[in-house]
Amino acid sequence: MKFHRINSLEDYKAQYQRSVENPEAFWDDIAKTFTWQKPYTKVLQWDFQHPSIQWFADGELNITENCLDRHLPHKANQTALVFEPNDPSQKVRTYTYAELHQEVMNFSQVLLNQGVLKGDRVCIYMGMVPELTIAVLACARIGAIHSVIFGGFSAQSITDRIIDAQAEFVITQDAAYRGNKIIPLKPVIDDALLKCDFVQKVIVLTHAKEPVNMLKGRDIWWEEEMELVGKANVPPAIMNAEDPLFILYTSGSTGKPKGVVHTCGGYMVWANYTFEQVFQYQENELHFCTADIGWITGHSYIVYGPLLAGAKTLMFEGIPTYPDAGRFWDIVEKHNVNILYTAPTAIRSLMTFGTGVFEGRDLSSLRVLGTVGEPINEEAWNWYDENVGKKNCPIVDTWWQTETGGVMISNLAGITPSRPAWATLPLPGIQPLLVDEKGIENTEINAETGFVHGNLCIKFPWPGMLRTTYGDHHRCYTNYFATYENLYFTGDGAYRDSEGNYRITGRVDDVLNVSGHRIGTAEVENAINMHVGVVESAVVGYPHDIKGQGIYAFVICTDHTHDKDLIKRDINETISRLIGPIAKADKIQIVSGLPKTRSGKIMRRILRKIAEGELQSLGDTSTLLDPGVVEEIVKFRV
Ligand code: WT7
């Protein structure tokens, strides 16, 4: 049995209306098409005040039974996973549903043999290799909670996350290939674990054949353990719908990343539902999402969404510019990719290589294009449409977040209209609204723009929403539910037109979006402030042609700093060490003071304007403790 696939704009409207008027019946019809080990009797219980959200609460299931086992009767020999290696001359690896099922069971047995129990947290720090997908699914199969950490994060970031999650098990690989580089992973884990002596086992996959240090009693080889188990038969663990499935850390406006928790039942329904409705996946098509599984996009649209739908999903190990800037298009042609889902920052960076790379490359298999991660500018949208889609593929602009589990606002490929730079309509079940600073709903259309503007909130739960922040439920409340009473606050600003279409303008909090990666300014400031030569710092974003936003750091140094260029490099080295290279500052300005109010608060608004180059509209600076610093900062702007 399958849930109803939206098939026209009218159908969308009818489905949307039903999802608002009768959400429980609406979601019951969808959820019951999945395989439940014990059916649920309650669809939804919720409270945004003392956040508590439960979907299908007394139901029992295992998401891997729905991803794998349930497809075996009719799809055992159909491809599930295609792996395209970093080096195009290396062998492509494919797994049928039967093979993936077997591999997942084998690795599940490895985890069981190591003493991993239901509810244990397992940290996964790997490159984009098929074993990563297998590790994720094996955790889910035995009921362990996976927490994947993106391979670009530093040892310190890993330590913080492993401690926060109290993860006693780690899965990693020797090293990863990235373009012409070899990125060590196991050595980073070794550093990270110096401060995590509670970690019992580290399972190490050999991939790049780099030498690694193996600690006796703690570190074991993936291959050896797999050989020991042979062909295993591990039945799916029985999970309550509200048991945690995974933790994924993401930055917020405070210093410490938070562990967003998704649960088994609701996330499963949402990942599958959104995948099929948004991309309109057709039987036998190949879906290529270019994200890394270290981010939510990879979780939902490389692993869970496609496999739940019985689709073929492609994993790409490398980068879009290796061996040359035509790599994505080579992959499309080589594998006959039908759906391509990528980020505006990737599109903008490929634009700089010109259109010559398209010559002689056949993209005719493409049917649907998607974008995610940040607002897409019209120029990039049009370039994508013309050069990649040949004006023949609908583009879905999908707005969502780590916390939302899956797409929230997007057109549906070929079903509802697309519109450059607009995410357009909310998916069924999603009830957005725009509020002002005080939380009062804004419905008035601005005469000048023709749109309503405000801070984007959601007023009703959906199955894929986060349930808590790991180990600190209060933080979940303060971050998402405390700003506006009875509303989930997204942190984004948006416009809405008279037809109900949304255009997302970006974060309104102290969170930056750099190349589609979410980075909290406080986190970067904390890292900069760790440098011995630094007294204080303030970090803001500014528009960047390729990255969307760049990082601009204003830094006060100690008196004894002589070599300014050296200290700037040192500061970025410190950021790299503490967070990862993705958080390095694009611009660093050494200043003698920061604009502060009389009560000592940094006036970020002014710094943001300076970084953006909006020097005419700095606003009132007379209330500052020392208005002179603004002049100095403007004068020496970088
Ligand atoms: C933030 C969430 C969701 C997967 C990737 C990022 C921004 C995301 C869009 C879009 C405009 C977008 C928002 C959001 N964002 N998609 N289509 N248009 N902005 O997940 O790291 O949790 O970041 O990304 O600002 O809040 P994330």
pLDDT tens column, 265-274: 999 999 999 9
- H or E element, residue 107: helix 97-113
Residue range 232-259, pLDDT digits in tens: 999 999 999 999 999 999 998 887 899 9
Q: 400 CA to middle of ligand 1, Å?
A: 5
pLDDT tens digit string along 289-328? 999 999 999 999 999 999 999 999 999 999 999 999 999 9
Cα–Cα dist 136/148, whole Å: 8
- Top-confidence residue, 616 or 102: 102
pLDDT(562) > 80: no
- Position 544, amino acid: H
- Determine which residue's CA is closest to atom 12 belonging to ligand 1: 374
Span 47-62, mean pLDDT?
A: 98
Q: Is residue 268 within 8 Å of 66, Cβ to Cβ?
A: yes
CA 459 – CA 456 distance, rounded (Å): 10
Please compute the mean of the pLDDT values over residues 115-125 and round it to a whole number.
98
Supply the DSSP symbol for 358: G
Would the pLDDT of 618 be above 90? no
Predicted confidence at residue 518, as pLDDT, reads 93
Please report which confidence band the pLDDT of residue 6 belongs to, taking 50, 70 and 90 as the band edges. very high
Separation between Cα atoms, residue 499 and residue 450, nearest integer Å: 11
Query: What single letter denotes the amino acid at residue 603?
Result: M
Q: What is the 8-class DSSP label of residue 312?
A: E
pLDDT tier at 627 (50, 70, 90 boundaries)? confident
Angle at Cα 477 formed by Cα 474 and Cα 481, nearest 5°? 170
Average pLDDT estimate for 367-381: 96
The predicted structure's pLDDT at residue 573: 97
Q: How confident is the model at residue 625 (pLDDT cuts 50, 70, 90)?
A: confident
Structure confidence at residue 503 (pLDDT)? 98
How confident is the model at residue 588, as a pLDDT?
Answer: 97
Pocket probe for ligand 1: among 289, 301, 400, the residue whose CB has the most ligand atoms within 8 Å is 400
Whether 351 shows a pLDDT value over 80: the answer reads yes
Sign (positive/negative) of CA torsion 193, 217, 147, 291? positive
Mean pLDDT, rounded, of the chain = 96
- Run of H or E including 506: strand 502-507
Residue 548 alpha carbon to ligand 1 centre in Å: 12
Q: Whose CA is nearest to atom 10 of ligand 1?
A: 399
Residue 617 has pLDDT above 90, yes or no: no
| 148 half-sphere exposure, CB direction, 13 A CA radius | 29
Pocket test for ligand 1, best of 299, 374, 495 (most atoms within 8 A of CB): 374
Q: What is the mean pLDDT of residues 190-198?
A: 98
Distance 372 CA to ligand 1 centre (A): 6
- Minimum mean pLDDT range among 113-117, 138-142, 183-187, 610-614: 610-614
Query: Is the predicted pLDDT of residue 572 greater than 90, yes or no?
Result: yes
State the sign of the Cα–Cα–Cα–Cα dihedral 590, 596, 602, 606: negative
Residue of the nearest CA to atom 8 in ligand 1?
373
- Integer-rounded Cα radius of gyration of the chain: 24
Backbone angles phi, psi at 200, to 5 degrees: -90, -45
Atom index in ligand 1 nearest the CA of residue 407 equals 3
Q: Which helix H or strand E contains 433, and what residues bound it?
A: strand 432-435
Mutate which of 290, 518, 547 for ligand 1 pocket (most atoms within 8 A of beta carbon): 518
Sequence-distant contacts of 1-6: CB under 8 A, at least 24 apart:
1/32, 1/33, 2/33, 3/29, 3/30, 3/33, 3/273, 3/276, 4/29, 4/30, 5/276, 5/277, 5/280, 6/277, 6/412, 6/415, 6/428
| pLDDT tier at 619, thresholds 50, 70, 90 | confident
Whether pLDDT at 460 is above 90: yes
Q: What is the pLDDT of residues 541-550, one digit of tens each?
A: 999 999 999 9
Average pLDDT over residues 373-383: 96
Distances in whole angstroms, Cα of residue 182 to Cα of each of 147, 177, 193, 438 = 23, 5, 21, 50
- Provide residues with CB under 6 Å of ligand 1: 250, 296-297, 372-375, 397-402, 423, 490-492, 504, 506-507, 513, 518
Beta strands in 251-289 (DSSP E): 258-263, 286-289
**pLDDT tens-digit readout, 406-430:** 999 999 999 999 999 999 999 999 9
